């Protein structure tokens, strides 16, 4: 459920119910895709539901076998996938290949660990229910709808798709209208491994297609996108009480303490801010640096950022801004900051040259500037010096987002990380948590709720079922109208004896 019509020249529609995805570097057509109607979305969900029982009955071992085969196919055809990602997003080939490497690692982890995390297991019944056998297992929810973004068109949605499939669900995926080919390619490759039933199907189109998926009767919906669109997704799903997982925007901060490795921190800040042309929800958008090392850090950031070059050629460091409408937002944030007194250390408003944006480093940026308060989603970074780390933490936590964060400190990194209001934190590194399959991924505040990846991500797409089974007749049975007059009194005496002591 992204925009309801093409926002820009990144997509074009035709009169035959199709639209074209375009290469943002050149404007050339990559491929044409259908605009699926609400009825076609409902049909896809109905097919997925028919496939659901078969997929569940394969069991953990059967599903692992299929998902492992899919993983091997993705490895074999990695260059093909990366080429398509580059064509639809414009990102450099190396970055597209890195995206697929992480996809493959997550798929392997999900398939390997699903049984361990979700299988039936015994749990203690407790003193009062000692005559009962208690078990807990996590069953598939059924059909999962996934609405994915364009900035990481394989990695981000696969954080839901792979884990949902491993948990025993079938999936209907609506990719961004900017990157429909990547979603279609993923479904087609899995169909080569699982030809019997459509366990992963794709519907393409614009906002109406996404809204139809929200209202289609899926058993859960996972959404990644803007906070504003996320609220509309939640409203649509609320009509049928469809549970949702929402991962929205971020305004992540990087904090540099007085004892940090300054050169390492500068390198991380530039990569975190500029990679993928800044189009990363967990990218570094704000830096708060201790005044004792601020000059050294700022000089290092300035030197590194000034070397980066955007372009559409293989040797470029950064690709284009994939969604042209974002260009005006980036320009507006830079202009607003400068108008309010910020200093442009690298680039400036003139760096915005659609479809490319050159690196922009802003210093001494007022905290009420759009570049501080709103998600910029471009190759820009703000660097503000602070008196101490307490001020840095306060400023980092002041915004309404809470997705990720970064701490650079030799002596107290983990201690400071706990104080950040964020779902994920990297210490002396940047965005490392996203590439670790066992760590849950998600935010707080207006960055959303729910988790993908890791054990939490597997359980996110399963429903816990608790079962209590009577093993033998209890000595005392308070849950009966035939209980004796002294039953509850005896239970109270046991409770006081067992639990009333220190």
Which amino acids are annotated catalytic?
247, 281
- 62 Rama class: left (phi>0) / alpha (psi -120 to 50) / beta: alpha
Q: Which residues contact 94 (CB under 8 A, 6 or more apart)?
A: none
Backbone angles phi, psi at 244, to 5 degrees: -130, 150
What string of H, E and C letters represents the secondary structure of 418-477?
CCCCCCEEEECCCCHHHHCCCCCECCEECCEECCECHHHHHHHCEEEEEEEEECCCCCCC
Q: Provide the token pair at 2.
A: 């992204």
How buried is 433 (Cβ within 10 angstroms: 0-12 exposed, 13-18 middle, 19+ buried)?
Answer: buried
CA distance 41 to 212: 7
Going by DSSP bridges, is the β-strand pair 170-174/121-123 parallel, antiparallel, or unpaired?
A: unpaired
CA distance 142 to 165: 10
> Do residues 146 and 120 touch, judged by C-beta distance below 8 A?
no
> What is the sign of the dihedral through the CA atoms of 389, 395, 400 and 404?
negative
Q: Which residues contact 43 (CB under 8 A, 6 or more apart)?
A: none
> Do residues 185 and 175 touch, judged by C-beta distance below 8 A?
no
Query: Bridge partners of 121?
Result: 136
> Do residues 6 and 177 touch, judged by C-beta distance below 8 A?
yes
> Do residues 230 and 222 touch, judged by C-beta distance below 8 A?
no
């Amino acid at each position: 459920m992204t925009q309801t019509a093409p926002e820009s020249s990144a997509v074009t529609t035709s009169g035959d119910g199709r639209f074209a995805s375009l290469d943002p570097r050149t404007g050339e057509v990559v491929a044409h895709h259908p605009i699926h109607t609400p009825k076609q979305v409902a049909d896809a969900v109905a097919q997925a539901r028919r496939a659901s029982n078969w997929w569940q009955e394969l069991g953990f071992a059967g599903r692992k076998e299929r998902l492992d085969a899919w993983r091997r196919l993705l490895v074999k055809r990695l260059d093909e996938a990366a080429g398509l990602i580059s064509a639809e997003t414009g990102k450099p080939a190396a970055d597209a290949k890195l995206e697929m490497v992480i996809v493959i690692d997550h798929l392997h982890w999900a398939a390997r660990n699903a049984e361990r995390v979700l299988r039936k297991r015994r749990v203690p019944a407790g003193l009062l229910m000692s005559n009962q056998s208690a078990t807990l297992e996590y069953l598939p929810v059924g059909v999962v709808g996934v609405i994915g973004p364009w900035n990481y068109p394989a990695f981000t949605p696969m954080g839901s798709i792979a884990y949902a499939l491993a948990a025993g669900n079938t999936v209907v995926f609506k990719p961004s209208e900017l990157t429909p080919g990547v979603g279609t390619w993923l479904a087609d490759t899995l169909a080569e491994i699982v030809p019997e039933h459509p366990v992963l199907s794709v519907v393409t189109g614009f906002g109406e297609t996404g809204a139809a998926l929200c209202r289609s009767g899926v058993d859960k919906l996972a959404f990644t996108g803007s906070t504003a669109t996320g609220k509309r997704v939640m409203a649509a799903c609320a009509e049928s009480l469809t549970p949702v997982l929402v991962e929205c925007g971020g305004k992540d901060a990087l904090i540099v303490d007085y004892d940090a490795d300054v050169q390492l921190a500068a390198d991380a800040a530039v990569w975190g801010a500029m990679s993928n042309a800044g189009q990363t929800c967990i990218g570094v958008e704000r830096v708060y640096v201790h005044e004792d090392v601020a000059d050294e850090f700022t000089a290092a950031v300035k030197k590194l950022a000034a070397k980066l070059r955007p372009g559409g050629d293989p040797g470029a460091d950064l690709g284009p801004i994939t969604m042209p409408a974002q260009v005006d937002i980036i320009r507006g944030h830079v202009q607003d900051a400068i108008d309010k007194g910020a200093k442009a250390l690298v680039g400036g408003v003139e760096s915005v040259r659609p479809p490319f944006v050159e690196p922009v480093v802003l210093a001494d940026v007022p905290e009420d500037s759009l570049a501080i308060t709103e998600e910029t989603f471009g190759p820009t970074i703000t660097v503000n010096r602070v008196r101490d780390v307490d001020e840095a933490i306060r400023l980092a936590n002041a915004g309404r987002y809470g997705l990720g964060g970064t701490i650079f400190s030799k002596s107290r990194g983990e201690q400071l990380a706990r104080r950040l209001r964020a779902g994920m934190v990297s210490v002396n590194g940047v965005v490392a948590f996203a590439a670790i399959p066992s760590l849950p991924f998600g935010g707080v505040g207006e960055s959303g709720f729910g988790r993908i990846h890791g054990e939490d991500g597997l359980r996110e797409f399963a429903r816990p079922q608790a079962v209590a089974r009577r093993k033998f007749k209890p000595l005392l049975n308070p849950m009966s109208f035939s209980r004796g007059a002294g039953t509850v009194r005896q239970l109270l005496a046991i409770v006081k004896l067992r639990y009333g002591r220190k």
